[in-house]
Amino acid sequence: MPRRRLLCLLLALSCSGCATSTRASWAEYCKAVAVTRIPAAKNLSHGLVAISRSTPRLRWNDQGQVLMATLAESDCKDHGPFCRDQIGKPVTLTGEVWLSAAPFLQDFCRSLPKSRTADLKLRLLQRLGIAPEGVPADAIVQLWINPQDFFRPCADPEVTDGECTLPPHAGNGSDCPWASSAWMCHNWENSYPSACGPGVNPIPFPWTGLGYTWDWSPDNPTHRGESEFVAPPGKTVTIESVTGIAEYCGTVNCGPASAHDTAPPAPAPSPSDHP
C-alpha cells in the first residue's frame, strides 16, 4: 500500500476511534447527570474530608490557611488570578472557585495505572464530575485560603465535619430539592438544564449536592470522587503553584512552578473512591 494511503487510513482509524470514545464518554456522563439529579440517601457519604487540624495530611501555613486545589486553564492572556506570575501573591477571586483538598486529588491521579495516563485529563474530568468536552482546563492550581472563606456545597455547608444531610424533600426531578437555600437551588437549576449530550449549551453537571464530586468513570463503582468546596467571589487567596496536569500527576517532570520553587515528594496513594 502506498505510504500516503496508509497514513490516511491510520488517520481515519484514529479519528473513528476518538469519535467512538467521545460518544462512550458522553453516554456515561449523561447517565451520571440523570442519576444525580435527585439526591438519594444511598449516595450519602460519611467520609468527607473535614477541614480540620486533626485531619491527616492537610497542609496549613503559619497564617492558618489550608492548601486547596482547583482545575484551571493556564493560558493567561487576560492575566487572571491563576497565572504563573501570580504565584506567591495574594489575589482576589473574581468568581466562584470550586476546590478540593490539595493532597487527595494528587494522591488519586498518582495512583492511576499506567494504562490510564494516556487519557489523564479525561480521567480527572471524570473524577471531578466535569463534562468530557468543552473544558479548556489544563493545569492544577494550588492555593492557600482561610477555612472560613469557603463552604461545602450541601444542605449543611460547614467544612469541619465529614458528612452532609439530605434535603427535607428530595423532589421529583422537576422541582429544586434544596428549596431552603437560594444558592443551592440556583446551582441545581444551572447544573440540570433540559438536555445532555455533545454540543449542548449550557452543559449540565452531575452535581450531587452531597459534598463530593460524582466520579462518572465506570471504573469507580461507588462513583464517589473528591470532597468539594466553593470559594465565593471577593475572597483573597495566595497562589502556591500552577502545574500542568501531567506533571501534577507525576507522569512527567518539567521542573516545579511554585512559591517555594521546590517539588513536593510524591504522596502515598489513596483509594480510588476517596470522597
Range of the domain at 90: 3-248
Is 213 a domain residue? yes
Q: At what angle do helices 120-127 and 102-110 cross, to 10 degrees?
A: 140
Is 69 a domain residue? yes
Is 271 a domain residue? no
Is 264 a domain residue? no
The grid coordinates listed for 5 are: 494511503
Is 116 a domain residue? yes
Q: How confident is the model at residue 15, as a pLDDT?
A: 38
Q: How confident is the model at residue 252, as a pLDDT?
A: 60
Q: pTM here?
A: 0.83
Integer angstrom CA distances of residue 49 from 145, 196, 219, 222, 269: 16, 30, 22, 17, 16
Question: What's the number of domains the chain is made of?
Answer: 1
Q: How confident is the model at residue 5, as a pLDDT?
A: 34
Q: Is the distance from CB of 257 to CB of 243 less than 8 angstroms?
A: yes
Per-residue pLDDT of the chain (275 residues; tens, 9 = 90+): 433 332 232 223 333 344 556 888 999 999 999 999 999 999 999 999 999 999 999 999 999 999 999 999 876 665 567 888 889 999 999 999 999 999 999 999 999 987 666 789 999 999 999 999 878 888 999 999 999 999 999 999 999 999 999 987 766 667 889 888 999 999 999 999 889 999 899 999 999 999 999 999 999 999 999 999 999 999 999 999 999 999 999 876 554 455 554 334 444 444 434 46
Q: How confident is the model at residue 275, as a pLDDT?
A: 61
The amino acid at 7: L
Is 267 a domain residue? no
Helix (H, G, I), strand (E, B) or coil at 186: helix
Is 268 a domain residue? no
Q: How confident is the model at residue 130, as a pLDDT?
A: 96
Q: What span, in angstroms and rounded, lies between the C-alpha atoms of 198 and 141?
A: 27
Q: What span, in angstroms and rounded, lies between the C-alpha atoms of 5 and 211?
A: 52
Is 108 a domain residue? yes
Q: Is the distance from CB of 268 to CB of 219 less than 8 angstroms?
A: no
